[in-house]
Structure 1
Amino acid sequence: MTALPARRSVRQLRLRGVGEADLDALAHLDREAFPDEPYPYFVLRQLYDVYPRHLLVLDDGTALKGYVLVGTPPDATRSWILGLGITRDERGRGHGRRLMLEVLRRLRADRVREVCLTVDPANLPAIDLYASLGFTAEPDVRADYFGPGADRLIMRLTL
């Protein structure tokens, strides 16, 4: 009798808003998703305080596996995607798309007219995701957008 290959336990990922008790786990997730440039805890704390409605996570019941964070000013003319991160073990499974579709739905309901984001020009999977959602890239990469050597592509979506 041959042994069957070990199967990874698949947990359902629940999309939900963030609570204050989630901030440590969110900081951990952000460090995993962006090891070279994670948000400092205090910044995540303040972003949670300012933008709680548009800070969504994917939770498997034991850990956070993904998040999206959007900043929207009071006039709601333009929102910015401030972060979209998925743990390494969950990438490539459509979770980023799921988070983006939900947050875009909420932004439309809030009558936001435009959504912008920045992305590393070398991050082709992210660029492809955003383009598939209707975002278009500015023609030129913004050199040193986040400081020396931190170039970014700016993408926009009219809602």
Structure 2
Amino acid sequence: MGALPARRTARQLRLRGVTEADLDALALLDRETFPEEPYPYFVLRQMYDVYPDHLLVLDDGTELKGYVLVGTAPDKSRSWILGLGITRDERGQGYGRRLMDEALRRLRGIGVAEVLLTVVPTNTAAILLYETLGFTAEQTTRQDYFGPGADRLVMRLRL
């Protein structure tokens, strides 16, 4: 009988800032994660240019397995989580939490007062993750937040 394959641990994925060379892979990851609503490449490019210190990836040495993108107001009063994605094969391993923990640690470090995000109201796994990180939801779902039929729940965390 052969040995079972070792289960990957969080230590095997390196959390790091994105580089310009990662942009093609980041666009592929975003399309896999959000097939109906991926960011166009040019938007990811511009976000990299504007928020390079707030675009983090998980890298297994051959490909990107996850990312978090944060946009912060110039006065650091507020930040938005603009994207959090994990490849299908790595979901449920705690990598979303790892990315969010690091993003929130960095935001606290620069004195950000509050962090907001939006989530599809039926994405219970994401909502649970955000709640365990201290985010609270607005009372009602915001209808058509991103256009017709694109409802979102807005969640907030005060740092």
Residue 4 of structure 1 pairs with residue 2 of structure 2? yes
| TM superposition shift of 1:28 | 0.5
Going from structure 1 to structure 2, the CA distance change for 1:9 and 1:127 (only over 3 Å counts) comes to closer
Secondary structure of the equivalent of 2:26?
A: helix
| TM superposition shift of 1:73 | 1.3
Residue 71 of structure 1 pairs with residue 60 of structure 2? no
Going from structure 1 to structure 2, the CA distance change for 1:91 and 1:135 (only over 3 Å counts) comes to same
Distance 2:144 2:8 in 1: 40
| TM superposition shift of 1:4 | 3.1
Distance 1:7 1:18 in 2: 29
Q: Write the deviation string for residues 106-148 of structure 1: whole angstroms up to 9, x where unpaired.
A: 0000100000000000100000000000000000000000011
| TM superposition shift of 1:10 | 3.5
Per the alignment, residue 23 of structure 1 pairs with: 23
- When normalised by structure 1's length, the TM-score is 0.96
Q: Which amino acid aligns with 1:62?
A: T
Residue 90 of structure 1 pairs with residue 103 of structure 2? no
Q: Give identity over the alignment, percent.
A: 74
Distance 1:26 1:94 in 2: 19
Per the alignment, residue 127 of structure 1 pairs with: 127
Distance 2:20 2:54 in 1: 14
Secondary structure of the equivalent of 1:96?
A: helix
Distance 2:134 2:19 in 1: 30
Q: Write the deviation string for residues 44-71 of structure 1: whole angstroms up to 9, x where unpaired.
A: 0000000011100000000000000000
Distance 2:34 2:4 in 1: 29
| TM superposition shift of 1:7 | 1.9
Per the alignment, residue 113 of structure 1 pairs with: 113
In structure 1, runs of 5+ residues without a counterpart are none
Per the alignment, residue 54 of structure 2 pairs with: 54
Distance 2:55 2:142 in 1: 26
Per the alignment, residue 148 of structure 1 pairs with: 148
Q: Which amino acid aligns with 2:84?
A: L
- When normalised by structure 2's length, the TM-score is 0.96
CA RMSD of aligned residues (A): 1.2
Distance 1:90 1:8 in 2: 14
Distance 1:94 1:143 in 2: 30
Distance 1:123 1:22 in 2: 28
In structure 2, runs of 5+ residues without a counterpart are none
| TM superposition shift of 1:101 | 0.3
